[in-house]
Amino acid sequence: MASTPLPEWLTRLLAEMDEEMTLRGYTRQTRRLYRAHVRRFYLHHSEAGAYAGVDEARRWLLDLLRNGYSHSYVNQALSALRFVHRSVLEQPLALSGIPRPKKKKALPKVLSPAEVRSFLNALPSPKHRAIAFTLYSTGLRVSECARLKVGDVDSSRGQIHVRQGKGRKDRYVMLSPVLLRVLREYAHVERPHDWLFPAGHRRDRHISVRSIQRQIVRAAKTAGLRKRVTPHMLRHSFATHLMEAGTDLRFIQELLGHVRPSTTAIYTHVARRHIRGVRSPVDGLFGVDDGVGDG
């Protein structure tokens, strides 16, 4: 069934919006998401044309929340609407009074070291094994992993160059001896040329994020893990396990590519080392020695 063609004015608006985002250096993914939000909003309020106002926007965002969309999703939708009003329609004040929904502060879900080992051992092919080892041993975002090139792996210096990560910033992460061995085993079979992880037989394209996500979910089921494993869970596990090993928080922040230390500090709430290293005052009251009940 063919989709309904967009009104001409909306097609022009989306094109102007994309040009403005491109000039400002927005990533392809962000541009795609923002265009989709604006498209859905204006199709929902097509009778108002390009100048749907603050009341329509408030009702639409409230409907999203009431229909179960996450606060992060609604915040992103609001950002898209504010962008098009401020930078394309030149109406910066139109949506300035709409508050952002407060995000839920949920702790990141992580795997135990034993679960990571079972998961990594369950990966069937050298390519998927190399991708999963890269995600866990470096803490890369899945999009950063997908876009790695062969030349980014510097075995002589023991590091990987992450180009244009989130916020369009470059950084370096460590290349562990174990990961290097896994990558060499993979390269011996697959012979990557430009992209480290090409898209199947299309050597001119890198693997898609969605393809990596599917393989991660499949491997977790094969390993018998009850948790819903995602590439981002491997990133969370990397950071948490580093913290449990005593790695400085500032160094973890640099490896993850976080701008603010407060973003990285959330792992202090997950790391077991910090909890187990603190003695409850009740133990002092009743004379319990350190280490008792540590099973």
pLDDT tens, 7-23? 888 899 999 999 999 99
Same domain assignment for residues 83 and 181: no
With 0-12 / 13-18 / 19 or more C-beta atoms within 10 angstroms meaning exposed / middle / buried, residue 139 is buried
User: What percent of the chain is modeled with pLDDT above 90?
Assistant: 38
**Does residue 240 carry a pLDDT above 80?**
yes
Which is nearest to 83 in space by CA: 2, 16, 181? 16
Average pLDDT over residues 26-43: 89
Say if residue 48's pLDDT is above 70: no
- Does a structural domain hold residue 30? yes
Say whether pLDDT at 69 is over 60: yes
Report the number of distinct structural domains present in the chain: 2
All residues at 6 or more sequence positions from 217 whose CB lies less than 8 Å from its CB, including other chains: 228, 229, 230
- Whether 257 shows a pLDDT value over 60: the answer reads yes
Query: What's the mean pLDDT when you consider all of the chain?
Result: 83
Give the residue among 83, 77, 85, 24 at the shortest CA–CA distance from 50. Answer: 85
Q: What CATH number did the domain enclosing 68 receive?
A: 1.10.150.130
The answer to whether position 194 is within a domain reads yes
* pLDDT value, residue 213: 93
Same-domain check for residues 80 and 146: no
pLDDT-based confidence at residue 200 (cuts at 50, 70, 90): confident
The domain containing residue 200 runs over which residues?
Answer: 113-275
| Residue 292 within a domain | no
Q: Is the pLDDT of residue 253 over 50?
A: yes
Of the pLDDT bands very low, low, confident and very high (cuts 50, 70, 90), residue 162 is very high
Element (H, E) at 75: helix 71-83
Residue 56 lies in a domain: yes
Give the pLDDT score at 55.
80
Residues 253 and 187 in one domain: yes
pLDDT of residue 80: 92
Same domain, 118 and 228: yes
Among 88, 103, 127, residue at a domain's last position: 88
In Å, how far are 3, 122, 256, 270 from 241, measured between CA atoms? 48, 20, 13, 10
| Together in a domain, 257 and 191 | yes
The pLDDT value recorded for residue 59 is 86
Residue 295: band (very low, low, confident or very high) from pLDDT cuts 50, 70, 90: very low
Mean pLDDT over residues 36-40, rounded? 92
pLDDT at 150 over 90: yes
> Higher confidence at residue 57 or residue 134?
134
Catalytically annotated residues: 141, 166, 232, 235, 258, 267
Contact 204, 193 (CB under 8 A): no
Is pLDDT of 293 > 60?
Answer: no
Instruction: Give a yes or no: residue 289 inside a domain.
Output: no
Which whole number is the average pLDDT over 218-225? 89
pLDDT above 80 for 31: yes
Q: How confident is the model at residue 206 (pLDDT cuts 50, 70, 90)?
A: very high
pLDDT of residue 223: 87
Residue 132's nearest CA partner among 224, 211, 249, 226 is 211
Question: How many whole angstroms separate alpha carbon 197 and alpha carbon 211?
Answer: 11
**Is residue 22 included in any domain, yes or no?**
yes
Q: Report pTM.
A: 0.67
Query: Residue 202 is part of a domain; what is its CATH number?
Result: 1.10.443.10
Selected residue with higher pLDDT from 51 and 262:
262
